[in-house]
Every structure is written in C-alpha cells, then in structure tokens.
Structure 1
Amino acid sequence: MTDTPTSRATLDQVGASVTGFFQDLGCELLEYSPDRAVVALTLAPRHLNNAGNLHGGVTATLMDVAMGLCGTWTEQPEQRRVAITLSMNVNFSAPAAADSRVRAVARCRSGGHKTFMASCDLLDESDRLIAFGEGVFQRGALRSELP
C-alpha cells in the first residue's frame, strides 16, 4: 500500500473507466487509494426529485460507485478491477438541493480475496451528512479493456 496521493492523471484515467451512469450523471473521482474512494457531483436540476432535492437513485449510484472503487484499488490504473454489488443499503438523513456539491466518501471495512464490505457517507460541502450506507461487493478479474 501507498500513502502517496493519486495523481490527477490517474484519477482521470480511473474515472473514465467507470462507464455508464457515472459518466451520464457527470460525476468526478476525487480520491482513489487503497481502501478509500471519494466521488463528487455538483447537483443540477436533472439530479433532483419532484420535491427539488437530490434524487434517491442518484444518491444510491454515487455511494455504489464509491464503495465499489474503494475495494478494487490497483497500483496500475490500466489494469482495473471491477466490483459487482451483491447487496447494499442506503439510509437518507438530509436533503440536498440544486447547485450543492456532494461527495460520497467510501472506505473498505473488511474483506477477503473475492468479496469485501464497504461503508459510505454522502456529505455536502459543509460536511453535513446527506446519506450513509454499507454494501457487500465481489471483486472481479483485472481488466485492461476498460476505456
């Protein structure tokens, strides 16, 4: 393991390899290190529910991606390991409105060779807790064909 911060180029490379909804939402990978990942999003109207607050599905997606990344770190970002979500729970604790910047801060709590458990807090720019949760994930094989 390393305590050296991950370079912006590596964060961009890993972030680009997280395909699908992560890209569509406009998420940004802020931290990626052994046992920790932080994903951020500035909320736009498309991220909100009918009450004008952060949509629960967006909340779950941010937390799912951050938790999946925190348990699949590799030193070589071109050899990414993917995570398969086996179970996940999300608890909502406060609303977040448009133009808020939220961060999903995930850490790997324990695990073995094939599975790991992670927890995540979703925080706003004032470190107010928006949501929290846990998940169980399966580590996939190393893959080099990701973008």
Structure 2
Amino acid sequence: MSATDYSSEQLLQVHASVTGFFQDIGCELLAYGPEHATLALDLLPRHLNNASNMHGGVMATLMDVAMGLCGTWETDPVDRRVALTLSMNINFSRAAAAGSRIRAQAKCRSSGHKVFMASCDLLDEQDRLIAFGEGVFKRGALRRELPT
C-alpha cells in the first residue's frame, strides 16, 4: 500500500458507493489508490456455471468494476467519478471452483481527461491466472451527483 492509497474508512466509503450488483454478488474492495484497484470475491455455489466453475459473467463483473475504479481515484472519495465501460476484452485461462478466493487486480494503463484504458488480472489464492483483460472507460458524473 502506498501513502496515497485510501484508508480503511475511505475504502468502506467507496465500497458502499459501488453499484448494487457489486454488492449483491459479495465483492470486497481490498485496495484502491491512484491508477490501481484490487477486489476480492469468495466463490459460492451461486457464482458458478453449470460445469461447477466460476461463471464468466461473474469474472467479467469483477474485472469491469476493478478496471472502472482504477481510473476514477480522487484524493477525496466524495470527488470520485463513475466510469462508463466503452469496451472490454476478457481472456479466460483457468477454471475456479466454489470455495476459491478470487482477486481482481486492475491498473490504469493510459489516461486522458475523459477516457482511460485499464488492464486486469483475475487470480486465485495461489496467484494462478484465472482470466485477464483490458478495457476502455469514460469518466462520467461525480458519484455525489447521482441519485442515491
């Protein structure tokens, strides 16, 4: 953790402001700082596909949220903007089963005033690569300006 990362209290504040679907699947915001974000998810049976492996949509959600966050960090969490996904590519490389703890580690690769590009690795508890991807995002409205 760098000196500019959010404190535990600020992480909780940001965690509470991320979309309902993020909350519904049980994600946890582990780290958030300038140009990076790390999320975690403990896989439950509800996160699996018919082959009893982590569902691709759950993988995409973790990666989308992590990449969107990594380009919207502000010194004060209240000033954080939302990110709108313009495009996203995901490559699936390994299955993950119920009971696994999965981490999405995203970093901002390039950033302009309105648009940023990010990449993300999805890792299991042994740091094995589950999936990797990249996306292009647009900074949207300030989080505080949106309806609650």
TM-score of the aligned structures, taking structure 1 as reference length: 0.95
Residue number in structure 2 paired with 1:127? 127
Structure with greater helix percent: 2
- Which residue pairs with 1:26 in the alignment? 26
- Extract unaligned runs of 5+ from structure 2: none
Q: Aligned partners of 2:117 and 2:79: how far apart in 1? A: 22
Q: CA deviation digits over 1:82-125, x for unaligned, max 9? A: 00000001100000000100000000000200000000000001
Letter in 2 for 1:137: F
Note the C-alpha offset of 1:145: 4.6
Q: CA deviation at 1:80?
A: 2.2
Point out where structure 1 has 5 or more consecutive residues left out of the alignment: none
Any idea what SS the aligned residue of 2:134 has? Answer: strand
1:78 is paired with a residue whose SS is: helix
Residue 35 of structure 1 aligns with which residue? Answer: 35
**1:78 positional shift:** 1.8
Question: 2:58 and 2:79 mapped to 1: Cα distance?
Answer: 27
One-letter code of the match for 1:92?
F
Percent identity between the two aligned chains? 73
The CA deviation at 1:20 is: 1.9
Q: Deviations over 1:22-42 (max 9, x none)?
A: 000000000110000001000
Provide the alpha-carbon RMSD of the alignment: 1.2
CA distance in 2, matches of 1:145, 1:39: 24
Partner of residue 15, structure 1: 15
1:58 lines up with 2:79 in the alignment: no
Alignment of 1:57-96 (within 5 A): 57-96=57-96
Q: Partners of 1:104 and 1:129 in 2: how far apart?
A: 10
